[in-house]
Chain A
Amino acid sequence: MSVDVKETVKRIYEEVKAKSLEDGDMLINALHAIQDHFNNFIPPEAAEELSELMNLPPSKIYEVLTFYTMFSTKPRGKYVIRVCQSTPCHVTGGREVIEALKETLGIDFGETTEDGLFTLEYSSCLGLCGVAPVMMINDMAYGNLTPERVKAIIEELKGGEKR
């Protein structure tokens, strides 16, 4: 294991620990912090190091992290797109928006584009139903989507990357 990862995970763990009032509840917070640091995914070395630090078997770490859809064991794109697949979005044209996303990106749910820029995932509800259909790209929300707007947003992000 690279010394780098080991030390980074240790530092992140200490930071999370310092902020916690109880000892028993750190795992999910630690996983969030690690995932934020390693560009949207949890590398195996990091999970391994965390298991040592927390004195838990690796199987426990994976048991928990694989339960939650927001944690990923696979590298993800720079932009994680979460498109809402809930009823309010569905009845206001969400299906067409999802099709447009898949078509524009050329990937399906759970996949990442070849250039490593975009990962497409879905969410059960983003809580912005007043402006449905909705998606989030990293922490930024986009509402009132249409297939045309989706294409424009993706193109703009791609353009920003080239510049």
Chain B
Amino acid sequence: MAAVATNTILICAGGACISAGEESVKDAFKDELKKFALDTVVSVVETGCMGACNLGPLAVVYPEGVFYQKLTPDAARKIVREHILKGRVVEEYLYKGPEGEIKPQAQEELPFFTKQVKIATRNLGVIDPTDIDEYIGRDGYFALVKAVKEMTPEQVIEEIKASGLRGRGGAGFPTGLKWELGRKSKGDTKYIVCNADEGDPGAFMDRAILEGDPHTVIEGMVIGAYAIGASQGYIYVRAEYPLAIERLNIAIEKAREYGFLGKNILGSDFCFDIELRIGAGAFVCGEETALMASIEGERGQPRVKPPYPVQSGLWGKPTVINNVETFANIPPIILKGAKWFASIGTETSKGTKVFALAGKIRNTGLVEVPMGITLRELIFEIGGGIPGNKKFKAVQTGGPSGGCIPAEYLDTPVDYESLKELGTIMGSGGMVVMDEDDCMVDVAKFFLEFTVDESCGKCTPCREGTRVMLDILEKITNGEGTKEDLEKLKQLGEFISNSSLCGLGQTAPNPVLSTMRYFWDEYLAHVEEKRCPAKKCKALIRFVIDHDKCVGCTACAKVCPVNAITGEVRKPHTINDDECIRCGSCIEVCRFNAISKVSP
């Protein structure tokens, strides 16, 4: 039974897998192992997010590294009986390609994983995030020891500067430079803050890092504090992430116990501690000045910059704010050196970036890739393309501050500058893929609804301007728009960009402006022909039954919530357009493909 003794089952306990039933799968593994008295020799470890969210719940069985997906409690029991006991891989639960072919069994060989280079997410899915010894076992806190024992704060800053690391929270400001400004800023007390408010719709890498490897964020912060001379740190986490909060609390306590936080860290005279601050559901609190106001116990409203936080931050003291992923990159840079880091990526964008793939894409989830990879590689090779044989239409990057990129730019390398040229931004790395069924006017409208909701109300261009833009977009999707409205939309967008107080308003028009730039025809179709090419806007579509195909099964008439469908049994049915509410239920139930949407 020697083989058995070395088995380890890693189960993904990331947020998505938990929501898909991870806990019952874990229990089933444990129960079944116990039944065969294997519970003392085979360990079951809950790890952070493995990345392949749509395949969850996930598990990897070592030493072979076999990657199992879409698990159920029954599947778990079978894997124990077959794989663990008899050494037979259970094919049913292996990853299968688009044609049903069984792909390589080992995790490292799957296309989703082969192109990845993991730095910030190096420990995700590999260690138990609640066990500090596992983190240390993967060189954790070695960078801190190196920094405090062998380097001066100035040397740490030089190293980060030389690495070319830029902030991963959106703006891409050089991290080393920010730290240098923080170091030089005068003040008896300084603060370092981790921005873990991750609010961009479509981004969830910070969540995964906090839940899956909280110690790397803490270590990055302690090194930062040492570099700038901060004595106190805050992690501002959104309340929507209870699991991240729980694991951070455990990690902070353990780090204190081990002497990585607190007084006289590693026997030096450097003292530093970290506290959590929990948000309360306001997107704008991700903006750094609003975040500081919120930490101070105020309404989370941004203020004018300058002064910048490094000059006057929390309680007027110099404050360095960095994003979760930025901090997660710090320990490897200190350990392996700036040169190594700068050898990855492009001229101006060094290292890797974690992207969150969501929307109409086969492999949703998190991937970390070198900067400069093309959108095509990301979406089609790693992401597996669009499901259901649909056509790619656009990818939205940068959340509500970003824009949509159409198919003709799929070969663009992903870096800060190239995306900016296309009228969008890197943002925090969220990528929402859209297919031919998505209406770009509807998408733009959707983003503006978000901004209108989340605008804090302090400055007029953002508060009122986005409202007016939304009204115009609603008019257009209702089939009441004119060509003048399109002009107005453009002018208003430019005006809001130029005159808003903070990044929220300054970037709010981007989704509209970028879709107008690339999908002008679609806007024109809405206003000139009152037609929605994607057949999404309810006011511009009708549902019709093809009388040649309809067999009169009555399924549609039964499901219609407003009784808008009439017809005799076994005779073709008809939809009364005045009563139809365009809910689409009839299309779903029709087994003869007789119902379709038309516009107009």
Contact = CB atoms under 8 A, between A and B. Distances in A.
A56 to B, nearest CB: 9
Contact of B315 (A24, A89, A125): A24
B283 A124 contact: yes
B232 A21 contact: yes
A-B residue pairs, 6 tightest by C-beta = A130-B53, A86-B201, A68-B280, A27-B297, A70-B281, A129-B358
A87 B199 contact: no
B280 A129 contact: no
Contacts of B364: 129-132
Contacts of B280: 28, 31-32, 68-71
A87 B19 contact: no
Nearest to B278: A32
Interface stretch (A7-15, A112-120, A136-144): A136-144
B595 to A, nearest CB: 17
Contact of A130 (B54, B198, B239): B54
Contacts of A161: none
5 contacts: A25-B296, A130-B365, A131-B54, A131-B56, A144-B20
Q: Which of B16, B53, B273, B356 has the most CB of A within 10 A?
A: B16
Given A24-B297, A25-B277, A130-B366, A87 B16 contact: no
Contacts of A141: 15, 18-19
Contacts of B200: 125
A22 interface: yes
A4 interface: no
Interface in A15-65: 19-22, 24-29, 31-32, 63-64
A146 B90 CA distance: 29
A91 B198 CA distance: 20
A82 interface: yes
A65 to B, nearest CB: 8
A2 to B, nearest CB: 26
Interface stretch (B76-84, B214-222, B442-450, B492-500): B442-450
B278 A126 contact: no
Contacts of A83: none
B434 A91 contact: yes
Interface of A: 19-22, 24-29, 31-32, 63-64, 67-71, 82, 85-92, 96, 99, 123-132, 134, 136, 139, 141-144
A124 B447 CA distance: 10
Interface stretch (B202-210, B370-378, B459-467, B483-491): B202-210
Given A21-B232, A22-B315, A31-B280, A70 B201 contact: no
A154 B282 CA distance: 27
Interface residues of B, number: 64
Contact of B201 (A22, A29, A129, A144): A129
A89 B201 CA distance: 9
B535 to A, nearest CB: 14
B507 interface: no
Given A124-B283, A128-B15, A128-B16, A68 B199 contact: no
Nearest to B241: A127
A124 B15 contact: no
B358 A132 contact: yes
Interface of B: 15-16, 18-20, 53-54, 56, 198-204, 206-207, 232, 239-242, 273, 275, 277-283, 294-301, 315, 356-360, 364-366, 396, 399, 430, 432, 434, 438, 443, 446-447, 449-450, 453-454, 456, 583-584
Given A21-B232, A130-B16, A130-B356, A123 B240 contact: yes
Given A25-B296, A134-B19, A123 B360 contact: no
Nearest to B191: A22
B295 A131 contact: no
Contact of B204 (A28, A92, A96, A128): A128
Given A69-B280, A125-B240, A129-B364, 4 more contacts: A19-B275, A68-B279, A127-B203, A127-B240
Nearest to A130: B53
Contacts of B454: 124
Contacts of B204: 127-130
B430 A129 contact: yes
B493 to A, nearest CB: 18
B277 A131 contact: no
Contact of B281 (A68, A127, A142): A68
A28 B15 CA distance: 25
Contacts of A124: 199, 201, 281, 283, 450, 453-454
Contacts of A96: 584
B385 to A, nearest CB: 16
Contacts of B53: 128-131
Contacts of B277: 25, 28-29
Contacts of B203: 125, 127, 129
A123 B450 CA distance: 10
A141 B20 CA distance: 9
Contacts of A130: 16, 53-54, 204, 356-358, 364-366
B281 A123 contact: yes
A131 B16 contact: yes
